[in-house]
Amino acid sequence: MSNNQPTPKNNFDVIIIGSGPGGEGAAMGLTKAGFKVAIIERENSVGGGCTHWGTIPSKSLRHAVSRIIEFNQNPLYCNDTSTLHRTFSQILHHAAEVVSKQTRMRQGFYDRNHCQIIHGEAKFVDHHTVSVTSSDGSIDHFSAERFIIATGSRPYQPAEVDFNHSRVYDSDSILQLAHDPRHILIYGAGVIGCEYASIFRGLGVKVDLINTRQRLLEFLDNEMSDSLSYHLSNTGTMIRNDEVFETIEGTDDGVILHLKSGKKMRADCLLYANGRTGNTDKLGLEHVGLDADSRGQLQVNSNYQTVVEHIYAVGDVIGYPSLASAAYDQGRFVAQAISTGKAQGQLIANIPTGIYTLPEISSVGQTEQQLTAAKIPYEVGRSQFKHLARAQIAGTEVGSLKILFHRETKQILGIHCFGERAAEIIHIGQAIMEQKGEGNTIEYFANTTFNYPTMAEAFRVAALNGLNRLF
C-alpha cells in the first residue's frame, strides 16, 4: 500500500536520515531547540553502524580477548594445565550484550526528547519529500523544510569478490561468523584489518595480514607503526606488505588468495577489510540535484550544507575524519546551523586517533616525519611503560609514551602512545595541548604533581626526559 501525499502528521521541520552518532547529535540538538524532528532508520533498532557493526562490537571483542590474554599470562590465575580458551563465536555473546545496552540507552534519548523514529528505507522523491519503504513493503511519504543525511558508510565491496560465498566476509558480516576458523586471511591492513588481526591472533587463530601499502598505518608516527608491526609479528601474525590481490577463489572449505606478485595463500576464511563507501546510492539523490563522489561521499560547507541549501550532511558520508565522536559533534554543529543560522562550533584541529589493536595505539598532533619535513626544531621526551610502577603492578609493561615539543617555546606539538589504555592516556596530554597561550608547554608535566602509582605519570617521566635533552 502506498500513500503518495504526506499528511500533516507526516510533515516535520527537519527529517534526519540515519540514527548513528551524527544523526543522534543533530536530533538531540534540534529537539532541545524546539524543532519538530523525525529520524528515519532503515534497521529495526537505533544506533547505526557504529553501535551494531563497527566501533561497539569490535571494541567489545577486543576487550574480551585482552582479558583472556591477561588471564593466561598471569601466574596467579593459571598454570600450564589451566589456560583459558574461547572461540570467536563464543566471545560474540559479550559484544551482543553491549550492543543491546547501547541500543536501549540510545532509544531512551529519542523517547525522552520526543523525537519520532520512522523505521524503513528513505529515498528522496522531490526537494521536500521522502518515501519510506518499511520491512513489510508498505510505502509512506514524509515531508520537511530541511533534511540531514547521516547515513554513514559500509565496507567497500569490489565487484570481483564474491561476498555471497560462505567463507568470504567483510567487517560487517564477520560478526555472523559461526564456524571457528583455525586460519584466517585478512586483506587490508588499515585500522579495521589491524584490529581484527589482533583479535583473531589473541584467540589463537593463525592470521595472515595482507597490507596493500608499504608499512602498517602509514598515517601514524613511524615509531608507532614499527611497534605495531613488531608486536603483531612477535605474536605470530604473518604480515605481507605491498601486496594486491589478483583473484579471491572460494572453495568448499576455505579461500585461496591469488596475489599479483604471483604468491598464493590459503586459509579457512577471508576477511576483506580494504576501504569503506558512503551509504548514498539508495537515497535518490538525483531527485534533489545532489551527486556523491566515487566513494559515495557528499561535499559540505562549514555549516554542513550540501550544494542544495536545505539539505545537510554529517558523519562518514562526508568523509574525514570518519570517527563516531566527530560525527556526534558534527550533528551538534548542524543543529546549531539550522537553529541559529550558523554552526557555533567546529571540530578541533588536533583530533585524537585511537586504534584498538593489542596493544592499543593513540596519537594526537603531528608526527616526527611531519615536523622534520616542515623543518620545525623539535625535541622528544620518552617514557617506557616497563619503568612505571602502575604498569609493573598491572602487568601491562609493553608500551611507551612519546611527547614531541618545540625546542625553543617548549610547546607540545604531538603525543604518541603505544600500550594498554593508550586511548585513555592520550587525553591527559590532549587537554594540555589544547590550552591557549603559554599553558600548552611540556613544562606543565614536569612541574605538576601526579597520583602515584598511575599510568598518567608517564607524562611526567617523558617531560623530564625531553627537557633533559635540551642544551
Residue 44 labelled as part of a binding site:
yes
Would you call 291 exposed, middle or buried from its count of C-beta atoms within 10 A (0-12, 13-18, 19+)? Answer: exposed
Residue 409 marked ligand-binding: no
Q: Annotated binding residue at 49? A: yes
Contact between 247 and 187 under an 8 Å Cβ cutoff? The reply is no
Q: DSSP letters along 123-135, please? A: EEEETTEEEEE-T
50 is in an annotated binding site: yes
Nearest to 147 by CA among 29, 247, 40: 40
Return the closest-CA partner of residue 23 out of 308, 312, 290, 408. Answer: 312
Q: Flag whether 47 is marked binding.
A: yes
The β-bridge relationship of strands 353-355 and 361-365 is antiparallel
Q: Is 192 annotated as a binding residue?
A: yes
Would you report the helix, strand and coil content of the chain in percent, each value rounded to 5?
35, 25, 40
Q: Is 190 annotated as a binding residue?
A: yes
In angstroms, rounded to a whole number, what is the distance separating the alpha carbons of residues 397 and 400? 9
- Judge contact between 132 and 140, C-beta under 8 A: yes
Would the annotation count 151 as a binding residue? yes
Instruction: Tally Cβ neighbours within 10 Å of residue 265.
Output: 19
The answer to whether 189 is a known ligand-binding residue is yes
59 is in an annotated binding site: yes
Was 275 annotated as part of a binding site? yes
How many angstroms separate the CA atoms of 446 and 459, rounded?
8
Q: Which residue has the cell 605474536?
A: 235
Provide the CA 434 distance to its chain's centre, in angstroms. 22
The annotation status of 46 as a binding-site residue, yes or no, is yes
To the nearest 10°, the Cα dihedral for 223, 229, 233, 234?
Answer: 30
Q: If DSSP codes are grouped into helix, strand and coil, which group holds residue 350?
A: coil
**43 marked ligand binding residue:** yes
Contact 41, 15 (CB under 8 A): no
Do the Cβ atoms of 459 and 450 come closer than 8 Å?
Answer: yes
Residue 25 assigned as binding residue: no
Residue 194 in grid coordinates:
589491524
Q: Is 197 annotated as a binding residue?
A: no
Residue 334 annotated as lining a ligand binding site = no
- Give, as one character, the DSSP assignment of residue 444: H
Q: Are 253 and 293 in contact, with CB atoms under 8 Å apart?
A: no
Binding residues: 41-50, 59, 151-153, 188-195, 275, 316
Binding residues for FAD: 41-50, 59, 151-153, 316
Binding residues for NAD(+): 188-195, 275
